[in-house]
Amino acid sequence: MGNLSLKCVVAYGARLLAMSYTRRLSEDGASPPTHVVLVQSNLNPSSIYNLTWSLVAAWPRKLSAHDNEFDTICHVDPLTGVFTAMSNYTTVPSQFTSNLPYIREPGGFQYDPRTGSWKDFTLDQGYLWGDVKPTFTLFNWPNRNSSTLYHANIAQSAGVNLGVFDPDSNKFVNVKSWTLVGYHGNRY
């Protein structure tokens, strides 16, 4: 037993799936998390008061001291059940890198329930993600026969960027970008 601080929650059929970074109960609470935990709710929870959680999978993943500080989105593929988590983490400013135990490439990770396996993914070189606002999402194109995963974000520089996950390279790659016309500061 312990407390989990959920990083993201997503609906999957009649359940909710949630992800958290955590550590073993025997580990020092001041140290960076050492595991990713995926939990699922009870079936058809009617309210927050009867919501219960059970473990789906845990992954001993090397984490940065800053992994828990960034906005995270998650997604579950409706056809395959593959869970994907991605954060808006890009780089840590250089004045902070000297004392960090681990700096990860930008990207995220996936859990595949069909094989019970976890894997990290990255972003293709030049991926349009560096000036992203906290507005981004993962989604499947609305085609019931496809499990292609897409990523969209709104850039600080008034652009909208679309990327697709390439399972062969295990990376998100750029697909299309648009510039928003009529952009004036923070108003459109």
Six-digit token string for 148: 């292609």
pTM of the complete model beyond 0.85: no
Interatomic CA distance for residues 188 and 186, integer angstroms: 7
CA distance 60 to 174: 30
What's the CA gap between 135 and 126, in Å, rounded? 19
Per-residue pLDDT band at 188 (split at 50, 70, 90): very low
Dihedral sign, CA of 141, 142, 144, 145?
negative
> What would the mean pLDDT of 144-161 be, rounded to a whole number?
78
Q: For the chain, give every domain's residue range.
A: 6-179
* Per-residue burial over 141-163, b = 16 or more CB atoms within 10 Å of its CB, e = otherwise: eeeeeebebbbebbbeebbebeb
**How deeply is 138 buried, as exposed, middle or buried, from its count of CB atoms within 10 A (0-12, 13-18, 19+)?**
buried
Task: Note the pLDDT tens digit of each residue in 64-95.
Answer: 555 555 678 899 998 889 999 987 655 544 45
Render pLDDT for 125-135 as a digit per residue (tens, 0 to 9). Answer: 887 766 655 57
CA-to-CA distance for 22 and 58, rounded, in angstroms? 10
pLDDT category at 179 given cuts 50, 70, 90 is confident
Q: Between 19 and 187, whose confidence is greater?
A: 19
Contact assessment for residue 172 and residue 165, using Cβ atoms and an 8 Å cutoff: yes
Which stretch of DSSP H or E encloses residue 97? helix 94-97
